[in-house]
C-alpha cells in the first residue's frame, strides 16, 4: 500500500509545485522520505494572523489517502482548532470513529 501512497504524494507535490495555492508552501522534508512534509502558511490579510508565517509538519500514513495525515503546528499559534501542543483538531484529520471531539 505504501507504493500507491508514495505515488499519490509525489503527484500531489508536483501539483503543489506547478500550481501553488496562495499563502502556502509545502513539500517533503527530504527526498528520502515523502511521508514527512513541512508547510509554511502565511496568515490571511485582514485577520489577527496577518503578517504571520506559521510552520507546520505533516505525517502521511502508509495507506494515504485512505487514512488522513497528522498535522502539527511547530509555530506557536492560538486557534480554537489547534491544541496547545500544536496538534490540529479537525474531524477530517482523524480516522473514522477516532475523533476525540
Q: Does residue 99 form part of some domain?
A: no
Q: Does residue 35 form part of some domain?
A: yes
Query: Could you list the active site residues?
Result: 89
Q: Does residue 98 form part of some domain?
A: no
Range of the domain at 27: 4-93
CA dihedral for 81, 71, 3, 99, sign (positive or negative): negative
User: What's this model's pTM, rounded to 2 decimal places?
Assistant: 0.83
Structural domains of the chain, count: 1
Q: What is the CA radius of gyration of the chain?
A: 14
8 A C-beta contact, residue 57 and residue 38: yes
Give whole-number Cα distances, 10 to 21, 23, 52, 58, 72, in Å. 17, 21, 28, 15, 21
Per-residue confidence band for 10, with pLDDT thresholds at 50, 70 and 90: very high
CATH number for the domain spanning 50: value is 3.10.110.10
Q: Does residue 42 form part of some domain?
A: yes
Q: Does residue 26 form part of some domain?
A: yes
**pLDDT, tens digit, for every residue of 54-89?**
999 999 999 999 888 999 999 999 888 899 999 988
Q: Does residue 82 form part of some domain?
A: yes
Q: Does residue 101 form part of some domain?
A: no
Query: For the chain, how far is it from start to end, CA to CA, in angstroms?
Result: 29
Amino acid at each position: 500500500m505504501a507504493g500507491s501512497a508514495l505515488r499519490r504524494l509525489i503527484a500531489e507535490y508536483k501539483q503543489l509545485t506547478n500550481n501553488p495555492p496562495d499563502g502556502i508552501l509545502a513539500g517533503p522534508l527530504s527526498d528520502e522520505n515523502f511521508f514527512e512534509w513541512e508547510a509554511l502558511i502565511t496568515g490571511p490579510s485582514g485577520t489577527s494572523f496577518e503578517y504571520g508565517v506559521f510552520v507546520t509538519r505533516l505525517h502521511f500514513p502508509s495507506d494515504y489517502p485512505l487514512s488522513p495525515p497528522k498535522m502539527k503546528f511547530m509555530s506557536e499559534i492560538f486557534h480554537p482548532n489547534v491544541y496547545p501542543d500544536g496538534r490540529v483538531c479537525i474531524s477530517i484529520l482523524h480516522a473514522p470513529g477516532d475523533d476525540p471531539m
